[in-house]
Structure 1
Amino acid sequence: MVKDTTPIWVSLPINLGRITDFEWPDSGNGGTSPLLYSVGAAATIGAMGLWWMWSSRTSPHRLTPLVDPESQTRELPDGSRICKYLKTDALMRFIYQDATTLYQAIRRGSTVSKNGPMLGYRSKTQDSEPYVWLSYDDVISRASRVGRAIRTLDIPIGQESFIGIFAKNRPEWVIVEQAAYCFSNVTVPLYETLGADASSFIINQTNIQLVFCDSIDKVRGLVERKSQCPSLKNIVVMSPASDELTEEFRRSVENEGIILSSFEEFEERGDLNNIADQPPTPDDLATICYTSGTTGVPKGVMLTHGNIIADCTALDYFKNANLNNKDVMMSFLPLAHMFERILETAIFCAGGSVGFFRGDIRLLADDIKVLRPTVLPVVPRVLNRIYDKVMAEANKSVLTRFIFDAAVAIKTREINNWIVRSDSFIDQHIFRKVREGLGGRVKLMVTGSAPLSETVLTFMRCATGAIVCEGYGQTECVAAATVSIEGDPIPGHVGVPAPCNAIKLVDVPELNYYARDGFGEVCVKGTNVFKGYYKQPELTKETLDDDGWLHTGDIGRWTAQGVLKIVDRKKHIFKLAQGEYVAPEKIELVYIRSKYVAQCFVHGESLKTCLIAVVVPDFDVLPNAVSAELGIAGKSIQELCMDEKVKKLILDDIQALGKKAGLSSFEQVRDIYLHYEMFTVENDLLTPTLKSKRPQLRTHFKSKLDGMYVKLQ
């Protein structure tokens, strides 16, 4: 069997929303992006600089690898692997003994920062305004106050009370989260892309009485679903406009059985209650993070304080980055998902600061410019856009492209020698604008949620002079199960097991993957692995075995260097480049309702942003249909399949069916290939039970699938 070694990321379920609309501001130079301007402008000086760089043969400081780069993991007696960074077989639970819960984490941050700035925000309308900061003690005090206010609603202290948060990233999100932890309550984030039905399901399953929202529109949405959510009794809106929270609107909400308050009003209620904090233990639940299920029913991933703190130990690999109380992180990836929350928690433990974007992805570039972060969580789509813009500028002339390629080659040579820096001549004169576009101070970039191509990863390492690492995981192990060690120059893998978990590969005989060959399903066991799905014990048993191993559904292989590559999926659900999960079989069931369609195979790739499909027409229907509707007659089935008018007829029909069935835009195929032979058991494209053999279909139609994606680019 030919093994596909293309990384397929189905991890860290981040819904990007409008993150893919991220644009760098116009430079005022004929529309040239500030990220790109220096590449063209510095062509001549760059040529001189490259010559100087080559001839001077400087010897800058090299990073000391965390472990031997050629042997990064070691095998345990049960066949699993851990990183050689761990000196014993014991897995890490925390980095700091005084921060073993999320409640303790920010208090440690207050101590080590001497009550430094913790949360920053800006006016939504003024680009020129600086960030305004809340100190650690401000946040701690306000969180306790909000926690006491929650008690006035007769919501009990402890693990049986769930607090809903339905908001974009902002200081109040963290304040409410910490307010819940002050009294050992459990947070339940909601987010718009779950859909109305899923949100109602979550509120009902967790019996939520109180939801904090960031807009009146979200309040209206919850009120409209009140009949489906009988437990919901209180909504707090974080920052309503002065003309939105009118008495008339309040009364209309109260008529539905919900009490509506502004955040300011609600926080003041905390002064009526002097009860002391009753903080959680590491074994207490911190959050239930819901992810989309293949059946449409969300799965509530139960994560304890200990799980989340344990996953933060992945940041212990970054010794040279040295997170400390001077670090500043930009927060724009959704806090409703664990990737962002893990990185923020790590920053808080170190006493650093987190600045929030203004909630509009179109303003992100300006927010970054003003904040000047040192730590930047990113997703591949953003990095791809930066790379595409730089390449567009570099390709404007032969000389500029020559200078660009030479600069990348020289920087790549440094990176291959474990040299990470931003102070060379090339950094200052060729790639300066790229760094300035990211604020000019970034030292650590962590990317997840989808695969990043090797070319783009290497370019970002060259252009930023920062440590750029990839991680892999899923919500069931909080976020990261593996991460590449800092300075590792080899792209195309997802690194070593996090210090809190071991990884083993398990045979998948039906796909011809065997652990003895270094291939198998990726399984995770450790202090970061979840406690199960909330009120879904059968689903928990399918994912978490009796020995505590989390079965991810991903197929991996160990490289000669002892790092993990993700090469396939055991399960059929996958993620597109923008972070959207896709269940292809659900889409296929919609499309085969078309009178023209006999069989359908929907395909997507995690480096691509759209779906394509192979469609086998109904041979009994198609000839007469195209004759009547298109006036095409006298052609064979094979000729009809090659006719663009026929393809458009079928594509339009299945897209219309998809829209009628409520498929999201990202679930609709953008192109199809019409095939003139049925999928059968005999041609090895169907199982004996007549189910599609997806790996074989991918292989069989690879050239056609690749061709469609090339055409769509």
Structure 2
Amino acid sequence: FLSNHISLVLATIFNKPVPLHLSLLTFKPGSTVICTTSELKAIVQVKASAPTLRHVVVCDVVIKAQADLDLCGQAGLQLWTMRELELVGTKHPRPATYPKVSALSFLMYTSGTTGDPKGVEITHANILACAAGAKDRLNRGDGAVCFTPASIHLSYLPMPHILEQIVQSVMISAKGRIGFYQGNTLKLTEDLVELRPTHFVTVPRLLNKIYDKVIQAGGSSSSGGGIKGWLFKRAVQTKLANLKQGYQAHPLYDKLVFSKIQAKLGLDRCRFVLTGSAPISDDVLSFFRILLTSTITEGYGQSECTGASTLTDHDDVQCGTVGAPMASCEIKLVSVPEMGYYIYISIRKQLITKRHRYLVTDSVHGDVNKIPVNGRGEICFRGPTVFSGYFKAPDKTAEAFDADGWLHSGDIGVWTLDGRLKIVDRKKNIFKLSQGEYVAPEKIENVIKASVYVGQSFVYGDSLHAVLVGIIVPEAAQLKMLADSLNVSGSLIDLCRHPKVVEAVHKDIVAVGKKGALSGFETVRAILLHPEHFTVENDLLTPTFKLKRNDAKKLFSTQIDALYDKAGDLVAGKNIKQGE
């Protein structure tokens, strides 16, 4: 907000890896970096490639340590605390110099899932368009505006996350209030209870964790035979049944059961939840709708179109779609012949004439029965929310757009008959098995996560092999219960290595895959249970919590070889090892 007040351009960088992200920036004379003391060494490392960088502001200390002063001084950097900067601003105020709407507002660096991060140039016009589109969609039809001066937002997503940037822009425009979490996601529940936000902007991973804890607590009460457990189970069943008829509220169960859970979670005055960045399961989405009796909105977009392009309506209780396009952008689907995805079906007549009609049914992507659709293809964007280009990367910018100015997302979607967009596949993360079948691993991972034993997964295959293998991070509590039922004991590491446990988890994954209508070649034939979560810290997730497949492949290369040996997938009588 302050940078906009005097027409400064912000460049947001993820805290890992700091040297890489900073080295991609071209600093103007007198440029400033705001950071915490833990990043000082990394900033000093890139000073040689950024000679115009002069100032560093640390925001986590009041008194500067002499070691930090010496470190910055030797690199030719002036070190400030945030308080010192505030005092200088008080003594030397600058008049407001408001930017033009066409001016650059910030560089939003991508998380670098498939390569080096790219600087997405976001203008003030982009932000205004996206904020207007979001407010238009989220403002309730009954007149109760979602964003007001009384609105309270808990900020815990990284600031380089485009979703967090847009939500804060909307909050500031509505004169709402923003609270910041303690910096530890393990204490996020404490922050929620303390702040009691009026809305909650989050990602599915956190909602999954909350869901598991609530269901596990309710299930424990139920298995004990108590009245509380019976009441919880009855309340959930009744409200889920009512939800299918379009009803979220229940006077009795909301008062006796769900209001108490809301208070414990700090969500007792939450009017709506906005989730995005990754798919959310139908079970989790429906549960939060009956738990909060409020709007649960799912959105879709990417940094290049300022974060949000579609949002579900406030009264939408369907699952599996990301809603309709916002008023601030256009969306179209484009055929992807190499994946067999077409917008139209060709109808030939008399060998010389050809006409087309929209694809009207789709029986792929986990739906056993054909579902009515209005075409299937790659999702493309156009409009005032679409970025102007990548920072100092004209070749990458040209690759992102087609000749008609449409931004290609790399995601595959279908239109439902009522105009909702359904994400069904990913164009970029595909590979071909040795028998010629194309595989989209993200699709399979989204299906098998329905297994109670799967916390995270990495499905792997390549063109030298005919089957898939998987690295599974199990849900520890569920794995322990499974082990108890098999009379197996030990630590989490011991359970992950025990053949009986691995076999039982694999059988459940295969069963879930069949239920989700995975084809035979999409079945994971061998698995390894890995006791450690994929995280940003161990470089297996990007800062936006997407799996870094190349890094995962390198880390688990030996285990992947062993899994192919176990699966008996041989090429010319032997297993082709990773790297051969």
Please report the TM-score for the alignment, with normalisation by the length of structure 1: 0.57
The answer as to whether partners of 1:369 and 1:438 remain within 8 angstroms in 2 is: yes
Give the Å deviation of 1:214: 4.0
Aligned to 2:330: 502
User: Does residue 132 of structure 2 align to residue 317 of structure 1?
Assistant: no
The answer as to whether partners of 1:506 and 1:521 remain within 8 angstroms in 2 is: yes
User: Does residue 433 of structure 2 align to residue 610 of structure 1?
Assistant: no
Aligned to 1:445: 273
The answer as to whether partners of 2:239 and 2:248 remain within 8 angstroms in 1 is: no
Among 48, 64, 75, which residue is 1:256 paired with?
A: 75
* Residue type of the alignment partner of 1:506: V
* Unmatched runs of 5 consecutive residues or more in structure 1: 1-177, 574-583, 589-600, 619-643, 681-713
Q: How high is the sequence identity, in percent, across the aligned residues? A: 32
Give the Å deviation of 1:408: 2.4
User: Does residue 389 of structure 2 align to residue 561 of structure 1?
Assistant: no
Give the Å deviation of 1:241: 4.7
Aligned to 2:170: 346
Aligned to 1:201: 23
**Per-residue CA distance 1:557-605 (angstroms, 9 max, x = gap):** 01122211000111128xxxxxxxxxx99xx9xxxxxxxxxxxx99453
Count of residues in Structure 1 that have an aligned counterpart in Structure 2: 444
Give the Å deviation of 1:238: 1.5
Change beyond 3 A, Cα 1:663–1:465: closer
Task: Classify the secondary structure of the residue corresponding to 2:178.
Answer: strand
Aligned to 1:101: none
Task: Classify the secondary structure of the residue corresponding to 1:551.
Answer: strand
Partner Cα distance (2:299, 2:333) in 1: 18
Task: Classify the secondary structure of the residue corresponding to 2:108.
Answer: strand
Aligned to 1:465: 293
Q: After the TM superposition, which residues 608-687 of structure 1 pair with which residues of structure 2 at under 5 Å, given as runs?
A: 609-614=456-461, 664=540, 667-668=551-552, 672=560, 673-674=563-564, 675-677=567-569
Give the Å deviation of 1:393: 2.1
Aligned to 1:375: 199
* Residue type of the alignment partner of 1:277: A
* Unmatched runs of 5 consecutive residues or more in structure 2: 345-358, 360-374, 434-438, 450-454, 466-498, 503-525, 542-546, 573-580
Aligned to 1:285: 104
Aligned to 1:154: none
The answer as to whether partners of 2:343 and 2:377 remain within 8 angstroms in 1 is: yes
* Residue type of the alignment partner of 2:12: P
Q: After the TM superposition, which residues 154-303 of structure 1 pair with which residues of structure 2 at under 5 Å, given as runs?
A: 178-193=1-16, 195-203=17-25, 205-207=26-28, 209-242=30-63, 245-293=64-112, 296-303=115-122
Among 405, 412, 418, which residue is 1:548 paired with?
A: 405
Give the Å deviation of 1:338: 1.2
Partner Cα distance (1:252, 1:677) in 2: 55
What is the RMSD computed on CA atoms of the aligned residues? 3.5
The answer as to whether partners of 2:13 and 2:22 remain within 8 angstroms in 1 is: no
The answer as to whether partners of 2:410 and 2:426 remain within 8 angstroms in 1 is: yes
Give the Å deviation of 1:274: 4.6
Task: Classify the secondary structure of the residue corresponding to 1:213.
Answer: strand
Partner Cα distance (2:107, 2:571) in 1: 42
Aligned to 1:493: 321
Aligned to 2:369: none
Change beyond 3 A, Cα 1:434–1:315: farther
Give the Å deviation of 1:226: 2.2
Partner Cα distance (2:381, 2:217) in 1: 43
Partner Cα distance (2:100, 2:429) in 1: 38
Change beyond 3 A, Cα 1:679–1:556: farther
The answer as to whether partners of 1:506 and 1:522 remain within 8 angstroms in 2 is: yes
Give the Å deviation of 1:610: 2.9
**Per-residue CA distance 1:666-712 (angstroms, 9 max, x = gap):** 643677441544689xxxxxxxxxxxxxxxxxxxxxxxxxxxxxxxx
Partner Cα distance (2:571, 2:128) in 1: 49
**Per-residue CA distance 1:13-43 (angstroms, 9 max, x = gap):** xxxxxxxxxxxxxxxxxxxxxxxxxxxxxxx
Change beyond 3 A, Cα 1:530–1:617: closer
User: Does residue 215 of structure 2 align to residue 395 of structure 1?
Assistant: no
Give the Å deviation of 1:304: 0.7
Partner Cα distance (1:414, 1:295) in 2: 43
Task: Classify the secondary structure of the residue corresponding to 1:430.
Answer: helix
Partner Cα distance (2:462, 2:135) in 1: 46
The answer as to whether partners of 1:524 and 1:549 remain within 8 angstroms in 2 is: yes
**Per-residue CA distance 1:92-138 (angstroms, 9 max, x = gap):** xxxxxxxxxxxxxxxxxxxxxxxxxxxxxxxxxxxxxxxxxxxxxxx
Partner Cα distance (1:615, 1:524) in 2: 31
Partner Cα distance (2:571, 2:109) in 1: 36
Aligned to 2:510: none
Greater displacement, 314-323 / 458-467:
314-323
Give the Å deviation of 1:285: 0.9
Partner Cα distance (1:366, 1:268) in 2: 33
The answer as to whether partners of 1:616 and 1:676 remain within 8 angstroms in 2 is: no
Of structures 1 and 2, the one scoring higher in RCO (CA 8 A, sep 6+) is: 1
Partner Cα distance (1:358, 1:350) in 2: 24
Give the Å deviation of 1:617: 9.1
Give the Å deviation of 1:325: 1.4
